[in-house]
């Protein structure tokens, strides 16, 4: 696929306006939805390479805002260390992963994330085991990230299970997403997927995502976030099912 063709660039821009809108309304979903929609056009690895710049910019901003950066680093460092280790381990096998297998795993990851969102299962992490569970979840998240480009499973359920207050939770997710994005970029570079050719599509994706987030803030005042959230997870479930079925049929 020629990433510099007008039709592909227009499609990428449209996708990122949409995912930016989603993030603007419910505060999450940009990398997950983007990987899923781009996966309809290209391999998950190539989609993840395009996602790196917009994901890194938005996540650094989210990680820097909140006033609890040092506290969260001190508390969640086992999770972050696990992410780096898991991503590194996964990167050693990324170059051997076929496109069909990667698409299947991407579809299954989206299905799992959507079901967790729809069922709304709440986990509670025991404080005395927070570090060890976080380390294991970080390793698992790193492996899943390399395989699919999605870095929400099982990291997001784990962080939600810490039951932080809202401001800390948002900042904690921003820091974790930043670690995952940087680690994924290194893995993609190792696999030869993160090349200069994805820079222009990535910059277009960044601008489109910021426009979408602005539109999302406008939509936020006209629709109930819970209604939008329900539609988001149903759509994600259908997208994941489509990708998984396409990979096996």
Where would I find the beta strands (DSSP E) of the chain?
Answer: none
pLDDT digits (tens, 9 = 90+) for 184-215: 888 888 777 667 677 888 899 999 988 988 88
First to last CA, the chain: 22
Long-range pairs, 68-73, Cβ under 8 A, ≥24: 68/167, 68/168, 68/171, 68/172, 69/171, 69/175, 71/168, 72/168, 72/171, 72/172, 72/175, 73/175
pLDDT digits (tens, 9 = 90+) for 26-53: 666 677 788 888 888 887 778 888 888 8
pLDDT score, position 194: 67
Q: 0.85 cut: is pTM over it? A: no
Average pLDDT of the residues in 160-188: 87
pLDDT score, position 97: 52
Q: What is the average pLDDT value for the chain, to the nearest integer?
A: 84
Question: Do 32 and 110 touch, CB atoms closer than 8 A?
Answer: yes
Give the separation between CA 162 and CA 190, rounded to whole angstroms. 33
Q: Which two tokens stand for residue 167?
A: 């401001």
Cis peptide before 154 (omega within 30 of 0): yes
The per-residue DSSP string of 186-202 comes to HHHHHHT-S-GGGHHHH
From the list 48, 169, 164, the residue with the least C-alpha distance to 106 is: 48
Tell me how far CA of residue 30 lies from CA of 47, 66, 94, 210, in angstroms: 13, 20, 23, 11
């Amino acid at each position: 696929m020629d990433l510099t063709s007008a039709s592909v660039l227009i499609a990428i821009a449209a996708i990122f306006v949409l995912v930016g809108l989603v993030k603007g309304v419910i505060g999450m979903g940009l990398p997950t939805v983007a990987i899923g929609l781009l996966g309809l056009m290209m391999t998950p690895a190539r989609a993840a390479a395009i996602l790196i710049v917009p994901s890194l910019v938005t996540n650094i901003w989210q990680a820097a805002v909140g006033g609890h950066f040092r506290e969260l680093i001190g508390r969640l460092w086992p999770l972050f260390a696990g992410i780096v280790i898991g991503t590194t381990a996964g990167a050693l096998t990324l170059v051997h992963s076929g496109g069909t297998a990667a698409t299947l795993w991407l579809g299954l990851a989206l299905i799992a994330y959507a079901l967790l969102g729809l069922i709304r299962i709440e986990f509670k992490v025991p404080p005395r085991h927070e570090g060890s569970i976080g380390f294991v979840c970080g390793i698992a998240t790193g492996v899943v990230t390399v395989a699919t480009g999605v870095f929400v499973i099982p990291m997001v359920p784990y962080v939600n299970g810490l039951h932080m207050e809202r401001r800390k939770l948002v900042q904690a997710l921003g820091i974790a997403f930043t670690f995952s994005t940087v680690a994924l970029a290194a893995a993609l570079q190792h696999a030869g997927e993160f090349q200069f050719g994805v820079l222009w599509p990535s910059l277009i994706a960044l601008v489109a995502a910021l426009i979408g987030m602005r539109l999302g803030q406008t939509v936020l005042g006209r629709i109930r976030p819970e209604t939008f959230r329900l539609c988001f997870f149903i759509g994600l479930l259908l997208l994941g099912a489509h990708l998984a079925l396409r990979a096996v049929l």
